[in-house]
Amino acid sequence: MNADASRPGAGLYVHVPFCLTRCGYCDFNAYAGLGHLAERYVRALEREADLAAPGWAGERVDSIFLGGGTPTTLSPAALGGLLGHLRGAFDVAPPAEAEVTTEANPDTVDEASLAALLAAGFTRLSMGVQSFDPTVLAALERVHGPASARRAYAAARRAGFANVNLDLIYGAHGETLDSWRRTLDETVALGPEHVSAYALTIEPATPLGRRVDGGVLPSPASSADTTWATGGGGRTSAWARARTRTATAGGGGTSDLLPPTSRPWSAASSPWAATSG
């Protein structure tokens, strides 16, 4: 492939739908208990990459993002093999120039696995911390605790990751403004290169949505505790229905709560897609 170096590079998004558990708020293409299909799924991704690659001849790929789901439920060897296949199929920028991200949850990584991912060519880690408040994590049905998130972040730094994003969710049932501030304070103190913050969205077809619709949990509008003052003087529900994003200096990225959706090449049934720009 003869990519024009003067043009903006393309980016690949690869979806890995496997999770340890499925959180009650999640309405994405994710599955728990299907890890036995992981090897076959990776082979299918590689075959689909081979089919799609000719349509991207002449396009240089500057970034690759593995999202989910939780990609790090797969072994570092499987993820490294997949990355190598993508590099062979597409005109990916050299390792020193390309941004290659994988999402991770704290309980699916340790220093050894993270070092293996870095050695395989992953240059950026996007970790689903969501909160440093155990009450909020329980409301979100996350399987990790604050201590696990701290350990995983420290392990990423020891392994050599110099580019780390932390995903946060605000607006869970029972969360207070003080709790959210404490999460932000701890996040900033850790010093990640990037932070993505998302308002919790209640989707009707999820267990959380059904609990709200059934009256088991209060709706956002029914609780004064879920109304926070915004910096601009307005007010917004902590269970806001629109996702938002907060970014520090340090480049782009996505989250397991907001996978890319607008792409020149995609298929509704496809587990992965590519985007330019």
For every residue of 183-214, DSSP letters joined together read: HHHHHHHH--SEEEEEE----TTSHHHHHHHT
Report whether 128 contacts 71 (CB < 8 A): no
The residue ranges of every structural domain in the chain are 10-276
- Tell me how far apart the alpha carbons of residues 277 and 275 are, in angstroms, rounded to a whole number: 7
pLDDT of residue 260: 34
Q: Per DSSP, what are the bridge partners of residue 130?
A: 168
For 200-205, which contacts have Cβ atoms below 8 Å and span 24 or more sequence positions? 200/25, 200/140, 200/169, 200/170, 200/171, 200/172, 200/238, 200/239, 200/240, 201/25, 201/240, 201/241, 201/242, 201/243, 202/25, 202/239, 202/241, 203/25, 203/27, 205/27
Tokens, residue 186: 């701890």
- pLDDT band at 3; cut points 50, 70, 90: low
pLDDT of residue 208: 80
- Tell me how far apart the alpha carbons of residues 4 and 215 are, in angstroms, rounded to a whole number: 57
Report whether 127 contacts 151 (CB < 8 A): no
pLDDT of residue 252: 34
Higher pLDDT, 76 or 4: 76
pLDDT of residue 220: 54
Mean pLDDT of 42-58: 96
pLDDT of residue 139: 86
pLDDT 10s digits, 228-241: 433 333 333 333 33
Q: Per DSSP, what are the bridge partners of residue 100?
A: 64
Higher pLDDT, 267 or 78: 78
Report whether 31 contacts 37 (CB < 8 A): no
What CATH architecture is 10-276?
Alpha-Beta Horseshoe (3.80)
pLDDT 10s digits, 171-209: 888 889 999 999 999 999 999 999 999 988 888 888 788
pLDDT 10s digits, 91-127: 999 999 999 999 999 999 999 999 999 999 999 999 9
Answer whether 0.85 is exceeded by the pTM.
Answer: no
pLDDT of residue 174: 81
How do 272-276 and 235-237 pair as beta strands? unpaired
- pLDDT band at 7; cut points 50, 70, 90: low
Report whether 273 contacts 260 (CB < 8 A): yes
Tokens, residue 18: 């496997």
Q: Render the burial of 163-181: b for 16+ CB within 10 Å, e for the rest.
A: bbbbbbbbbbbebeeebbe
